[in-house]
Structure 1
């Protein structure tokens, strides 16, 4: 298992690509915001469910956009299963992440400001599998995360998600 591409490298998957910018003065200006959800899923051994994103080749916790008519909890359950094959139950809130200095530029010209609600979840069942959005799915030991290319915004969510008794984070 190798590390992902370096920051600022464009990755493509099925015609979709993105670049994440964080605290970069030359980043494009955000044109919109979309509600996104993610989850820090830990198994009984404390390992974290991780994906390697197809659109930027970085490792991340599973997540994605909320659909119309869907609750936030239902969105995260759906996204985790779609991207990993693992069914989960939401157990808590890690935090609300809305850093205007983190923008995501897509190859279609859309540039979004980060806005993500991150939950804690526990696995209920299923089998690991990839999807159109994930090229690799794995259970990672927290001590092995430094070996993975993880965007700083995702790493922050993981750090917060590993502290069980902390109040939800918000920006």
Structure 2
């Protein structure tokens, strides 16, 4: 059973009561495949990332979370976009209902070894065609679409 439930553009979604800054890394290998993890809490494939801790920048958060979730050391190389859609809320079993707040960076691997964490059941590089057939939340699909479009400027939303 999942300890979270995502609602997206759902009129029956609970009202958000929390806003927590978070970030993700979009990392592409030499073949154009994207580093993804299968989340243990929802079963969806997602970009590595998480929420900020006091005393760190969002960039440091994304580097730390990527290491924790994938075993890889990365450096941030750019910005895909800012995603703060109030129509996307995440309800947790403890009563928190969090409005989406995610900044997705581009990153590149600089070290480490690919590994699964307790937050994921699988970690691997997948191409966009494979991801079309796998469970991926709509908000992550939007980020993947923005990447595939090769935008000259970050998405601001």
Could you say which TM-score interval applies, normalised by the shorter chain?
A: over 0.9
Q: Which stretches in structure 2 are left out of the alignment for 5+ residues?
A: none
Q: Are positions 1:137 and 2:137 aligned together? A: no
**Does structure 2 retain, via aligned residues, the 8 Å contact 1:37–1:118?**
yes
SS at match of 1:52: strand
Stretch deviating more after TM superposition (142-151 or 112-121): 142-151
Q: Are positions 1:74 and 2:60 aligned together? A: yes
- Of 97, 101, 104, the match for 1:111: 97
RMSD (Å), alpha carbons: 1.1
1:55-108 per-residue CA deviation (whole Å, 9 max, x = no partner) reads 111110111001111111111111111001111111000111000000000011
- Of 33, 53, 57, the match for 2:43: 57
Counterpart CA distance in 2 for 1:165 and 1:29 is 32
Q: Provide the TM-score with structure 2 as the length reference.
A: 0.95
Give the number of aligned pairs.
Answer: 157
Q: Provide the TM-score with structure 1 as the length reference.
A: 0.88
Match of 1:8 in 2: none
Match of 2:114 in 1: 128
**4+ residue runs of structure 1 moved beyond 2 angstroms?**
161-166
